[in-house]
């Protein structure tokens, strides 16, 4: 029997919790700028993540580590101006919350005040307990992120699937339960076995949103540039491309160059 979906004018952390309770899957995509955020918001996505993947996608860095708090605030404020319905979650970048809970709170407050974002996301479990608690005490909603946590790439050494071994899987489940206990409103699970992700989602009452974590979770997130096919060198098994914009945009550029060279652009109707 199909369940009638509730219409939401504006998605809040409460809406996400209702969606999980009603068995409605949550859709989340990244955006880092106004134009992309307009497209994904008007397409009906529930959550826009201003991910620190902007470090890779927008700036061309190899990892997410170099992006700064000021840069994240710039990206997030552009996204917030476009988002009419979606909940905007902003990543706390590497170095802005790990060393000291007070600094973590200062970073989260800057994001909320200067970008207008609706919540923050940060990576890790018990290691960042005090930072999470302090941010939550200030009334700022926190989304957790476990499994493959790209800010720790130099600890892992590779971007392969995490928590395949029992000990790591158990630690992940414990951390997920702690994040829920401390008051996080949702959790991203990145690149972990589908069976483990499903187990976590069934044990938690907060929504679990997966990327490379199978279908048994409460929602899915993808990097929009990957899902639109604007990137073409990144080909993980979990990625479904809905368009092939890398090729289409490249062809459009070639046509434009050809038209300019041939003095075919602009024509009489395209000038004053």
Q: Which residues are catalytic?
A: 190
CA atoms within 13 A on the CB side of 204: 34
11/188 with CB nearer ligand KIV:
188
Two structure tokens written together for 57: 């996608």
**CB 190 to ligand KIV: min, Å:** 6
Nearer to ligand KIV, 101 or 212 (CB): 212
CB of 30 to ligand KIV, least distance (A): 5
3-state secondary structure of 229: coil
172: its two tokens: 């992940």
Cα separations in angstroms, 53 against 7, 32, 102, 265: 30, 9, 25, 37
CA–CA distances in Å: residue 150 to residues 83, 89, 96, 140, 217: 26, 17, 15, 23, 20
User: x/- contact string, 196-225, with ligand KIV (CB under 6 A)?
Assistant: ---------------x---------x-x--
Query: Rule CB under 6 A: is residue 30 a binding residue for ligand KIV?
Result: yes
8 A C-beta contact, residue 25 and residue 219: yes
Q: Tell me the per-residue interface mask from 39 to 78 with ligand KIV, x by CB under 6 A, - otherwise.
A: ----------x-xxx-------------------------
- Each residue 134-173 as x (binds ligand KIV by CB under 6 A) or -, in order, gives ----------------------------------------
Tokens 């992700």: give the residue. 197
**What is the smallest separation between the CB atom of 258 and ligand KIV, expressed in angstroms?**
36
Cβ distance 119 to 89 under 8 Å?
Answer: yes
> Using alpha carbons only, what angle is made at residue 266 by residues 264 and 267, rounded to the nearest 5 degrees?
75
Is the sign of the CA dihedral 219, 210, 234, 70 positive or negative? positive
Q: How many binding residues for ligand KIV (CB under 6 A)?
A: 11
Interface pick for ligand KIV out of 91, 180, 198, 226 (rule CB under 6 A)? 91
Q: Per CB under 6 A, does 79 bind ligand KIV?
A: no
Residues of the shown chain interacting with ligand KIV in the complex, contacts defined by CB under 6 A: 30, 49, 51-53, 91, 188, 190, 211, 221, 223
């Amino acid at each position: 029997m199909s369940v009638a979906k509730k219409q939401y004018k504006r998605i809040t952390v409460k809406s996400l919790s209702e969606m999980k309770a009603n068995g409605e899957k949550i859709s989340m995509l990244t955006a880092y700028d106004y134009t992309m955020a307009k497209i994904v918001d008007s397409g009906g996505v529930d959550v826009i993540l201003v991910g620190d993947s902007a470090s890779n996608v927008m700036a061309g860095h190899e990892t997410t580590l170099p992006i700064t708090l000021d840069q994240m605030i710039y990206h997030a404020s552009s996204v917030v101006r476009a988002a009419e319905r979606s909940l905007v979650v902003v990543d706390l970048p590497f170095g802005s919350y790990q060393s000291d809970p007070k600094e973590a709170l200062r970073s989260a407050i800057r994001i909320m005040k200067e970008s207008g974002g609706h919540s923050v996301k940060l990576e890790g479990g018990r290691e960042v307990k005090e930072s999470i608690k302090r941010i939550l005490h200030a009334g700022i909603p926190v989304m957790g992120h476990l499994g493959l946590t790209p800010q720790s790439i130099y600890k892992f050494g590779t971007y392969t699937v995490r928590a395949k071994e029992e000990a790591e899987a158990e630690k992940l489940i414990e951390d997920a339960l702690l994040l829920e206990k401390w008051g996080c409103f949702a959790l991203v699970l990145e690149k972990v076995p589908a069976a483990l992700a499903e187990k976590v989602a069934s044990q938690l009452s907060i929504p679990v949103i997966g990327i490379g974590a199978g279908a048994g979770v409460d929602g899915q997130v993808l990097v929009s540039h990957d899902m639109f096919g604007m990137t073409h060198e990144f080909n993980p098994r979990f990625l479904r491309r809905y368009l092939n914009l890398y090729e289409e945009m490249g062809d459009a550029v070639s046509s434009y160059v050809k038209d300019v060279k041939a003095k075919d652009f602009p024509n009489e109707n395209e000038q004053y």
